[in-house]
Chains A and B, each alone.
Chain A
Amino acid sequence: MGTQAYYLPKSVDEAVDLLAEYGPDLMVMAGGTLAMPLINEGISMPERVMGLRRAGMDGIERVNGSLRIGATTTLSHLEIQSGLPLLAEAARAVGGWAVRNMATAAGNLFAPPPAGDFATALLALDAEIQLVSKKGKRSVKVSDFYTGFLTTALSQDELVSEIVVKVPDGRTAYLKYGRRHANTPSIVTVALVIGFSEKEVTTARIALGGVGPYPLRAHSAEAYLIGKSIDPNVLSRVKDLALEECEPFTDAIASEWYRRRMIPVILGRAFDQITG
């Protein structure tokens, strides 16, 4: 049969209408870097596809100390224009140049692990995802977005329209560890936002990618860190707690064994960026 229809809506409203009409039978695609390889290989054979490149959903807006990132803003654009080092580094960590010119901020939320390096940074920034459907809008925190491997809080009739990021209230660090130093699949990715009052940690968000069914927050490690000043003993406990919260897996890139060993190491190195 092949693909019967490819829709290129010119607005969010039009996109949402199409989604309402076709529901789960409509494959939604932004940059195409995740969907098109599967379609080219015949692994995925969607009858109807909607592309969002012309839906006017891209762009970065600064509003009251927040960054409103349009869903289809490309990673290249974010690399240069976001103004937030954490986001810029995370964007740069994805793929090669041409991929970043196509891949989008919202698309990365749907990248199966070990991909999802940008989403990991969004998680550390406690970003809010704006969802839109014909019924209206709602927002959900990135930390509440993932429900399992390749499953999210997104309903069948919803689209991600925007991602809202508050300018972080602390120091940030981003460290992606893979076999290569660029354009590499992740073994472990760490994104940190740590707020201090003097030496004492007041806020802590530890996001980890490549180590579970989706990018995840090390909540118990974060909770432990609050009120402490970071020293080797504290850090050691943070690493242990974070490791307990991960569900590392084996793939072509690294084994579960190796990922497990790298989680504390890479986490420690990311913290070195915060304290160093």
Chain B
Amino acid sequence: MLAEKLHVVGQSVARRDGLGHVTGKTVYVDDINFKDMLHLKMVRSPVPHAMVKGIDFTRAERVPGYVRAFTHKDVPKNIYTILCLIGVGPDEEPVLAVDRVLYQGEPIAAIVAETEEAAIEAVSKVNLELEELPAVFDVEEALQPGAPILKPWGANYFIYEGHHCRRVRFGDVEKAFQEADFIVEDKYQTTPIEHAPTETTGCVARPEPDGRITVYTNTQALFFTLDNTALILQIPFQKLHFVGGTVGGGFGGKVDVIVEPIATLAAMRTNRPVKYVFSRQEEMQCSSSRAAWRMYFKDGVMKDGRIIARQITSYSDSGAYNRHSPYAVTKHAANVAGPYRIPNVWIDAYCVYTNRQPASAMRGFGVTPASFAIEMQMDKIAQVVSLDPWAIRFINAYRNGDMKPHRKIVEDATLIEVMQAAAKMVGHELPEKFSRMSSWDGKEN
């Protein structure tokens, strides 16, 4: 295993930020306050799908401390998609809704006020004129003819280079199904999950004397957020200075570039520092979640337990907008066949839009649901062929040198070794053929 002798790598040295954390001296975004700071709160859609016919700020303007409101007209490049930075498009999410909202909690207008209470009260006094539309919440219903269409390109799915879905084609599954002793099928479903970091998403944008804006943020990705903010506000990149690095829990929930653009815009227009921090309710109900996935597996299996074909159709419930989902679906397609050597694989993975809050990145996204489905399916196959759950995995485990369905040669496989170690931990004695197996034993099986 490890040959090299190292001095400090490999040692459990104390955390660099530990003393700050235990004394409470670590500064997080919400701990930053400026004397002349304004607070931003969002007017949000109360319904999952509607046309926005009108917004009336008259009563909000009368709230003492009200400063001003922002609508889509104030945002220079209102329609964006954050992954444009890695070439994903087209732009499709408004910073502030234009004439239609696609999920409950979607931002329609931003209000800044002298105090947070005043901002909250002013938001409650905004009159929205909405015309509700039928909503779609189920990924397969969303793909049926007659479903409400949510995207300007006339479909409820992301288009991957002309295809309705991300595809993987490896070998010939249909032929292998014919040869298989058993066909094992099932449907797996996961659910939208909240990141639930103890610190909610937020930032403070502050105009500087030199005309630049400093944005203190708990984003997980500093430059990514800066770049998107500049693009949305159509300002030169050098006008922005982002400071962060200390985050009270992320789990993928803080890479969406949601608070920074509007807070920066408000700071530029008012020439005062602006704080925009999600309430817990906003974090739970309006911010992005882990996507719910529906996955259909069909495997061709031989009597000895070898899986010779795997066909998967997956649907990511990406909610109303892209965020990171088109990327997640590709990552899913690359991994959903599992750490097993299966010579024939066919995958269709759909990125589907529905009228719920957008899904986005979360710890292991695309793969966490895949691992759930793959391993449940392995367990089912073991029962069908009457093998124990260890045997089915050893028999099919991938090796270094194998080619994966996405045609990459496996280099760092150690599935066999972790299974051997786990069996040892729980006192499960493996048959010799499995205890002697190695991820480096090449093509023999």
Contacts and interface: CB of A to CB of B under 8 A. Distances in A.
A–B direct contact (CB < 8 Å): yes
Interface of A: 1-2, 41-42, 45
A42 B123 contact: yes
Interface string B276-287: 000101000000
Top 9 closest pairs, chain A to chain B, by CB: A42-B120, A2-B117, A41-B281, A42-B124, A41-B279, A45-B121, A42-B121, A2-B121, A1-B121
Interface string B316-334: 0000000000000000000
A2 B65 CA distance: 10
Contacts of A45: 121, 124
Interface string B111-140: 000010110110110000000000000000
Interface of B: 63-64, 115, 117-118, 120-121, 123-124, 279, 281
Contacts of A42: 117, 120-121, 123-124
Contacts of A1: 63-64, 121
Nearest to A45: B121
Most buried by A among B64, B117, B118, B121: B117
Nearest to B117: A2
17 contacts: A1-B63, A1-B64, A1-B121, A2-B115, A2-B117, A2-B118, A2-B121, A41-B120, A41-B279, A41-B281, A42-B117, A42-B120, A42-B121, A42-B123, A42-B124, A45-B121, A45-B124
Contacts, number: 17
Contacts of A2: 115, 117-118, 121
Contacts of B123: 42
B109 to A, nearest CB: 16
A267 to B, nearest CB: 30
A2 B121 CA distance: 8
Most buried by A among B63, B118, B120, B279: B120
Contacts of A41: 120, 279, 281
Contacts of B120: 41-42
A41 B115 CA distance: 14
Given A1-B64, A42-B123, 15 more contacts: A1-B63, A1-B121, A2-B115, A2-B117, A2-B118, A2-B121, A41-B120, A41-B279, A41-B281, A42-B117, A42-B120, A42-B121, A42-B124, A45-B121, A45-B124
Contacts of B118: 2
A253 to B, nearest CB: 14
A81 to B, nearest CB: 33
A248 B34 CA distance: 49
A38 to B, nearest CB: 11
B403 to A, nearest CB: 45
Contacts of B63: 1
B349 to A, nearest CB: 30
Nearest to A40: B279
Most buried by B among A2, A41, A42, A45: A42
A45 B123 CA distance: 12
Nearest to A3: B117
A1 B113 CA distance: 12
A45 B117 CA distance: 10
Nearest to B124: A42
A41 B279 CA distance: 8
Contacts of B121: 1-2, 42, 45
A1 B117 CA distance: 9
A39 B56 CA distance: 24
A185 B279 CA distance: 21
A254 to B, nearest CB: 16
A27 to B, nearest CB: 16
A41 B124 CA distance: 11
Nearest to A42: B120
B42 to A, nearest CB: 12
A255 to B, nearest CB: 15
A18 B429 CA distance: 75
A184 B279 CA distance: 22
Contacts of B115: 2
A43 to B, nearest CB: 9
B276 to A, nearest CB: 15
B345 to A, nearest CB: 38
A45 B281 CA distance: 17
A41 B281 CA distance: 8
A1 B118 CA distance: 7
A2 B118 CA distance: 7
B323 to A, nearest CB: 24
A186 B216 CA distance: 40
B41 to A, nearest CB: 8
A50 B115 CA distance: 23
B285 to A, nearest CB: 11
Contacts of B281: 41
A41 B282 CA distance: 10
A38 B245 CA distance: 32
A45 B125 CA distance: 12
